[in-house]
Amino acid sequence: MTKFLLAVHVLAAIVAIGPVTVATSMFPPAARRALAEPDDARATGTVQLLHRICRVYAVIGVVVPVFGFATASNMGVLGDAWLIVSIALTALAALVLAALVLPRQEALAEGRGTREATVRLAMFTGIFNLLWATVTVLMIVRPGSTTGA
């Protein structure tokens, strides 16, 4: 059962979190293009599409920690430091996405924003992606784990 849960957890992370990290990274430059060319329907459409991808996959991404908790419980590692840090970083990444990235994307996608707003958004996007990269490393290395990394 552990292997199944772990497989679903990893697949969900790849399928859900991967698109969010890519789309969030693509959004600020696309928004800058759309701001520079307000009459360019393609640029505006790209910004709206990237925002929709981020919103949808953020919701789907909830599956990742759900199966992560199930996997950790099955493995008996819920109290391990590497997992607790991963959980905290995952929660922080979700907070950054929900409170700092998505609302700014929405404002830009609706045409309410400036070039400076895209710079701040790029910073928050970088923080979000760095948090996920750190969680990924912790999931692979599992420092202090006795489960054999």
**Contact status, residue 2 vs residue 71, Cβ threshold 8 Å:** yes
pLDDT digits (tens, 9 = 90+) for 75-101: 999 999 999 999 999 999 999 999 999
**Entry pTM:** 0.91
Among 9, 52, 50, CA closest to 33:
50
Among 50, 43, 40, 41, CA closest to 104:
50
Boundaries of every domain in the chain: 2-141
Inter-axis angle of helices 102-109 and 18-36, to 10 degrees?
30
pLDDT digits (tens, 9 = 90+) for 12-47: 999 999 999 999 999 999 999 999 999 999 999 999
- Cα separation, 61 vs 59, in Å, equals 5
- Cα separation, 63 vs 43, in Å, equals 31
